[in-house]
């Protein structure tokens, strides 16, 4: 059976089996599945085999759980063994549990072997092999397992997961990176004055600003090599890559206000994009098609979110401005589906995460617990990472905007300015 056929068969199965799954408050439309609000297909990850079996199983279970699209059915050790005997799933038991699918991963000499079983038809729905390095290369090995999780989620729900992604952030004036599951924390810069990191669309490079001396830096993650892209008099802040990765847009100001400029990766001089006339114009974020930019501007007397064409024309106020109000709306991030922009808004003196629809300008408040700032979308357009002090110290938290479920991503010293990566293939 071909992979496509297997996938279709599995999806067809899940259409029927989904009501049996664990109940949840999600309202997501699962591409490839008949829309059935309030349900998530139940999935059992059977005990893995081979080297690092337990680690693989727990990583995949957690990845699927963090994806918020399936209900991972955790079984006790005995039950888990009963669910898979003599290399054959215990169909009766799985059906009794209400599982729509069962998954088995085997560590092989070449990498990882994935088998997905359709519990309703008692058939194998998908077989795939994934190359993976040795477990001793921990980061790359974990990345391979995350890649398997993402493909597994796609095969079940039609929507690819974001397990194989990472999050950049700022802590103690250095740039750090952490896997989307909170593991593999690493510092990417020496101690200094680095801030506002952003990913290259390909995921292989990052850009950030240095405060002293003020400059924009680009850094290759494969070898750690960094170089200054823009520097000189004044301040250089909040860089982001152009959607095609050929350059960077950043904030630059000398005496009077800060404006957005663009510069090619090859170098040269920056070209002005915004005309702030003395106001601060910072934190650019591109629409997915690369034709529009949302940014924070103080041109109305206080920070609001604006949009403009990528060439700097057709500037438009996005957030609703009321006369006389002293609002503070900042840190915009354009959603991957292009339909909304997430941002932080001061409500009753406390920042909260909100979204605004591009079409109807409908506002939606997503947080209310503590102070919540600086949202950044995951590539699935369903999860946001943001900074919150709800635990007492400013940490990164991940929010599923469909269900409202949150999880803490970092611990330790205070953090700021998170940036969720695109889907990563290697590095």
Partner 1 sequence: MTRWRRLAPLAALGVVGCLASKGDVELLQTNMQSGFKAARDASAQAEAAQRANMDRVLSQISRETDSVRVLSVRLAKLQSDMQNDHYEMGRQLLQIQELTGQSQRRIQELRASLEDRAQSANAATPPDSAHPAPTGPGPGQLFQSSLDQLRRGSTSTARSGFEELLRTYPTYDDAPEAMVYIAETYAAERNQAAADSVYGLVIKQYPKSPKAATALYKQGLSFKAAGRPAAARDAFNRILREFPRSDEAVLAQGQLRALGR
Question: Does 266 participate in binding partner 1 (rule CB under 8 A)?
Answer: no
289 binds partner 1 (CB under 8 A): yes
Q: Indicate the residue among 190 and 255 with the shorter CB distance to partner 1.
A: 255
Least distance (Å) from partner 1 to the CB of residue 344?
A: 20
CB of residue 201 to partner 1, shortest distance in Å: 18
Residue of 190, 266, 269, 349 that binds partner 1 (CB under 8 A): 269
Binding piece for partner 1, criterion CB under 8 A, among 64-72, 142-150, 153-161, 264-272: 264-272
Stretch that binds partner 1, among 82-90, 198-206, 247-255, 313-321 (CB under 8 A): 313-321
Residue 338 binding partner 1, by CB under 8 A: yes
The residues in 2-41 that bind partner 1, with binding defined as CB under 8 A, are: none
Residue 246 near partner 1 by CB under 8 A: no
**23, 58, 92, 314: which one contacts partner 1 (CB under 8 A)?**
314
Q: Which two tokens stand for residue 333?
A: 């991030």
Residues 348-367, interacting with partner 1 (CB under 8 A): 358-359
Owner of token pair 């059977």? 46
| 79, burial (CB in 10 Å: exposed 0-12, middle 13-18, buried 19+) | middle
**Is there binding between residue 315 and partner 1 (CB under 8 A)?**
yes
Give 314-344 as a DSSP string.
S-EE-SPP-TT----EEEEEE-TTSSEEEEE
- Cα(421)–Cα(165) distance, integer angstroms: 6
Q: Which residue number, 85 or 291, has a Cβ lying nearer to partner 1? A: 291
317 or 413: whose CB is closer to partner 1? 317
Angstrom distance (rounded) from CA 101 to CA 124: 10
Helix axes 3-17 and 138-157, enclosed angle (nearest 10): 60
Q: How far is it between the farthest Cα atoms of the chain?
A: 74
Tokens 């990845």 map to which residue? 63
Least CB distance from residue 298 to partner 1, whole Å?
A: 9
Of 191 and 269, which has the nearer Cβ to partner 1? 269
What does the block give as tokens for 66?
């963090």
Between the alpha carbon of residue 7 and those of residues 89, 155, 407, the distances in Å are: 19, 6, 30
280 binds partner 1 (CB under 8 A): no
Minimum distance from CB of 178 to partner 1 (Å)? 33
Q: Which residues pair with 42 in a beta bridge?
A: 71
Pairing between β-strand 71-72 and β-strand 42-45 as defined by DSSP bridges: parallel
Assess 243 for contact with partner 1 (CB under 8 A). no
220, containing H or E segment: strand 215-220
Q: Does 275 interact with partner 1 (rule: CB under 8 A)?
A: yes
Does 244 participate in binding partner 1 (rule CB under 8 A)?
no
Nearest to 99, CA basis, from 67, 62, 74: 74
What is the side-by-side order of every strand in the sheet holding 186-187? 186-187, 174-179, 166-171, 416-420
The minimum distance between CB 27 and partner 1, in angstroms, equals 22
Binding site for partner 1 (CB under 8 A): 269, 271-273, 275, 289, 291, 299-301, 304, 311-317, 320-321, 323-324, 338, 358-359
């Amino acid at each position: 059976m071909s992979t496509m056929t297997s996938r279709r068969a599995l999806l067809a199965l899940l259409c029927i089996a989904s009501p049996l799954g664990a109940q949840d408050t999600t309202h997501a439309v699962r591409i490839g599945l008949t829309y059935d609000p309030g349900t998530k297909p139940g999935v059992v990850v059977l005990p893995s085999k081979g080297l690092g079996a337990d680690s693989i199983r727990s990583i995949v279970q957690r990845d699927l759980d963090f994806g918020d699209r399936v209900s991972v059915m955790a079984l006790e050790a005995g039950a888990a063994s009963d669910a898979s005997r003599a290399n054959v799933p215990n169909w009766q038991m799985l059906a009794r549990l209400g599982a729509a699918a069962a998954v088995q991963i085997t560590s092989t000499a070449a990498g990882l072997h994935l088998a997905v079983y359709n519990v309703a038809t008692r058939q194998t729905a998908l077989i795939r092999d994934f190359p993976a390095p040795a477990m001793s290369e921990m980061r790359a090995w974990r990345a391979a397992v995350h890649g398997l999780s993402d493909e597994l989620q796609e095969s079940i729900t039609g929507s690819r997961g974001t397990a194989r992604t990472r999050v950049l952030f700022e802590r103690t004036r250095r740039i750090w990176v952490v896997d989307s599951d909170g593991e593999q924390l690493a510092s990417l810069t020496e101690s200094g004055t680095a801030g506002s990191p952003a990913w290259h669309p390909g995921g292989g490079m990052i850009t950030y600003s240095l405060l002293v001396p003020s400059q924009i830096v680009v850094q290759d993650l494969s070898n750690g090599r960094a170089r200054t892209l823009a520097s000189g008099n004044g301040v250089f802040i909040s860089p982001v890559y152009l959607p095609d990765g050929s350059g960077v847009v950043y904030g630059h100001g000398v005496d009077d206000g800060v404006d957005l400029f663009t510069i090619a990766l090859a170098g040269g001089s920056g070209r002005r994009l915004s005309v702030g006339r003395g106001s601060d114009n910072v934190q650019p974020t591109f629409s997915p098609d690369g034709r529009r930019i949302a940014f924070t501007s103080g041109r109305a007397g206080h920070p609001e979110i604006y949009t403009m064409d990528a060439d700097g024309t057709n500037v438009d106020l996005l957030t609703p401005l009321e006369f006389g109000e002293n609002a503070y709306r900042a840190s915009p991030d354009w959603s991957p589906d292009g339909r909304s922009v997430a941002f932080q808004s001061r409500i009753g003196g406390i920042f909260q995460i909100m979204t605004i629809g591009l079409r109807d300008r409908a506002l939606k408040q997503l947080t209310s617990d503590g102070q919540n700032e600086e949202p950044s979308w995951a590539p699935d357009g369903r999860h946001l990472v943001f900074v919150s002090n709800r635990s007492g110290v400013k940490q990164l938290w991940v929010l599923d905007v469909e269900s409202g479920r949150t999880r803490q991503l970092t611990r330790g010293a205070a953090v700021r300015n998170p940036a969720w990566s695109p889907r990563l293939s290697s590095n």
